[in-house]
Amino acid sequence: MAIVETLFVETFGAFIGKHSERIIVTKGKETLVQAPLMHLKQITVASMGVSISADAIKECCERGIPIFFVDSSGDQYASVQSPGLVGTVKTRRSQFAAYYDGRGTQIAIWIAAAKINNQVATLKYMAKTRKESHPALYDAFHQAALEMLHYAEQLSELAGGTLEDVRNYLMSAEAHAAIHYWGVLRAVVPDSYGWEKRIGRGATDPVNSLLNYGYGMLRGRVEQAIVNAGLDPYAGFIHADRPGKHSLTFDLMEEFRSVAVDRKVIGLVNRNYGIKMTNQGLLEDETRKDFATQITEHLKATVRYLGERFAIEYVIQNQARRLASYLRGETEEYTAYKAEW
């Protein structure tokens, strides 16, 4: 039996149950997949019409296995996790206090600068193979990187203000850097995909749909890491508080979007990855299932981190723990993840 760490259920009419030490997905009398609990790390339900037993939910909660529910665009609309995982009162009190005492501002600056740095690293990563074959494109990548670094450097000047004072400047710097980032990436995507610009929610073209779905999957991984670290996913620093908004999840995601999703998507479309869309402009089930597998495997790829090489999924979890340690006062600063190229 193959080891299943991430169980992705996208079949309408499927039933998720527990038998002995396994989670079993069936449809009618047919067994679709079996996942031993000892290896399972998360379950993602990506279709309507899927049911799950109370026994399966109880077993997953007891073992710390989160269950995420996502829609056809990859947006998470619900999750089930054990309340015992969020019982670290000291960490959460420190997290809430940081919003007002200056640490929250510094965290926001560190994360925003890391996001831009990692986008720059992605551009340099993609440019290095084009120096000889496409010198004009190589130069364009490096020029965009220089412009983006200028915005990242400006962020250090914001230290000392309140979050309300600096949030608009942070978002503006990120937005201006993104214009350069997505503008130059457009040049490496084959024209056959019809990709004109970056569009978030509501996108109906293949490339943006892949990016958005990938970010939805990344969100689940980041939120799981945040909860495991004892942090509150709703109490962020860069993203403003709103009812039901997982602000800290979106904050920490910024460190990983380009490495965990953008590189994979651009790599796939450069290899003419087949993307099937419905008439409504959504990814077809077959494409969503295959792409989910691609992202899951990519999260196991190793990157340089703390002087060694670790899987991206490990880095995500460790960054959440480092953030919690900083908030509790156990370290003097939070070092955001900065990718190498």
**Distance, CA of 40 to CA of 59 (rounded, Å):** 11
- Residue 83: inside a domain: no
Number of Cβ atoms within 10 Å of the Cβ of 129: 10
**Dihedral sign from CA coordinates of 262, 266, 268, 274:** positive
Residues 132 and 272 in one domain: yes
Q: Concatenate the DSSP letters of all residues of 136-180 into one string.
A: HHHHHHHHHHHHHHHHHHHHGGGTTS-HHHHHHHHHHHHHHHHHH
* Helices and strands, number each (H, E), in the chain: 11, 10
CATH number at residue 203: 1.20.120.920
Domain that holds residue 30: 6-65
Length of the chain, in residues: 341
193 shares its domain with 281: yes
The answer to whether residues 116 and 249 belong to one domain is yes
Amino acid present at 280: Q
Q: Specify whether 50 is located in the same domain as 95.
A: no
Which regions of the chain are under pLDDT 50? none
**Which CATH number is 50's domain given?**
3.100.10.20
Q: Is residue 340 part of a domain?
A: no
What is the C-alpha to C-alpha distance for residues 28 and 191, in angstroms, rounded to an integer?
43
Residue 79 dihedral angles phi and psi, to the nearest 5° = -150, 155
The rounded distance, in Å, linking the Cα atoms of 178 and 119 is: 8
φ, ψ dihedrals at 72, nearest 5° = -70, -15
pTM: 0.86
Q: Are residues 14 and 151 in the same domain?
A: no
- 57, 95: one domain: no
Report the domain count for the chain.
2
* pLDDT recorded at residue 85: 59
3-state helix, strand, coil in the chain (%, to 5): 50, 15, 35
Amino acid at 188: V
- Same domain assignment for residues 35 and 149: no
Contact 201, 282 (CB under 8 A): no
Same domain assignment for residues 142 and 60: no
Residue pair 46/30 in contact by the 8 Å Cβ criterion: no
Q: Provide the pLDDT for residue 73.
A: 75
φ, ψ dihedrals at 6, nearest 5° = -115, 115
Q: Helix (H, G, I), strand (E, B), or coil: what is residue 105?
A: helix
pLDDT at 262: 97
What integer pLDDT is reported at residue 90 of this predicted model? 87
> Which residue matches tokens 């970010």?
215
Summarize pLDDT for 281-319 with one digit per residue, the tens: 889 989 998 999 999 999 999 999 999 999 999 999 999
In the 8-state DSSP scheme, what is residue 304?
Answer: E
* Token pair 């190589």 in the structure block, residue: 138
Residue 227: name the closest of 335, 76, 26 by CA. 76
DSSP 18: E
Helix ranges, the chain (H): 54-62, 89-98, 103-127, 135-155, 163-185, 206-228, 247-253, 257, 263-270, 285-298, 312-327
For residue range 184-232, list pLDDT tens digits in order: 999 999 999 999 999 988 899 999 999 999 999 999 899 989 998 999 9
- Of 4, 5, 2, 33, the C-alpha closest to 19 is 33
Residues 60 and 167 in one domain: no
Instruction: Decide if 175 is inside a domain.
Output: yes
* 241 secondary structure, DSSP code: P
Contact 55, 18 (CB under 8 A): yes
23 and 167: one domain? Answer: no
Q: 312-324: string of b/e by CB count within 10 Å (b at 16+)?
A: bbbbbbbbbebbb
Say which amino acid occupies 326.
Y
**Domain presence at residue 233:** yes
In what side-by-side order are the strands of the sheet with 6-9? 6-9, 42-45, 67-70, 76-80
Q: State whether 98 and 164 are in the same domain.
A: yes
Same domain, 121 and 256: yes
